[in-house]
Amino acid sequence: MKNVTEYQVTEGIGVLQVTRPEARNALNWQAQVEFAAAVAAAAGDPALRVLIITGAGDQAFVSGGDLRELARHPEKAAAERLNRTMSAALAQLQALPLPVIAAINGDAFGGGCEIVTACDLRLAAAHARLGFAQVRNGLTTGWGGTGRLVRLLGQSRALELLLTGRVLTATEAQQIGLVQRVVPAGEQTLAAARAWAAELAALPQDALAALKLLTHAAGQLSLPETNAYEAQLFNQLWNEPNHREALDAFLEKRPPRFNRPL
């Protein structure tokens, strides 16, 4: 059986791509299992520096679960399977100790938007549209998207998007903070994501991991607890090779060379 999710790593930059453009990159059972396996592979790859999530073609990023397939499974066990597989995969994706970029090459609806919220950085093609369409299917989010959306945008904005199912343009998504960058028309979204990933891959890997941990913690801890955790991570990094390299490069008036093998 041909894979419908591809995962490749080149020079520390991984690309996880859903390759079902004929179905607008909807996730059938096979794609869900392969997506989860690719995330697990990324979690176990010590050479990985940055991960990019995207879809094939230019029409859709991911359009959520495959409704044609799901329509044949009204039983509760199907819902439980769908929830279990993708919720676990996106929780693992969010917990990766490295930057994860959503390269939104086309429309991201329903579960596709839930994947977007599990990524750290998000850039979208100018023609892309985003929307939490679950309400139009008589459902809630099912892959952890509501909790992440509230943390990203706040309760009021999240409620409006979830209750109305409103479709956003890429520019509107950027204006409310759901997307950080919009790729101009005529430019390749994946190429823009790779360029961003290369910038991140050149930065200190341990500091990136610590800052990601700290930022996620700050959304759940009290301010004193966050400050204590910040002090702990700051002190841990102080005598690490990347920080010493940054100081040496400054004193020697040269570009730093981070992440070198010991």
What are the pLDDT digits (tens) for 2-41?
788 999 999 999 999 999 999 899 988 889 999 999 999 9
Q: What is the DSSP string of 192-233?
A: HHHHHHHHHHTS-HHHHHHHHHHHHHHTTS-HHHHHHHHHHH
Cβ contact 170:128 at 8 Å: yes
Domain annotation for the chain: domains and CATH numbers = 5-201 (3.90.226.10), 205-252 (1.10.12)
The pTM (predicted TM-score) of the whole model is 0.94
Percent helix, strand, coil in the chain, to 5, is 50, 15, 30
What are the pLDDT digits (tens) for 60-90?
999 877 667 665 656 777 778 778 899 999 9
* C-alpha dist (Å) from residue 248 to 16, 166, 258: 36, 51, 11
What are the pLDDT digits (tens) for 137-181?
899 999 999 999 999 999 999 999 999 999 999 999 999 999 999
> Which residues are registered as beta bridge partners of 60?
107
Q: Which residue has the tokens 């991984």?
A: 14
Q: How many CB atoms lie within 10 A of CB 61?
A: 31
Residues in Cβ contact with 90 at an 8 Å cutoff, skipping those fewer than 6 apart = 114, 115, 118, 143, 144
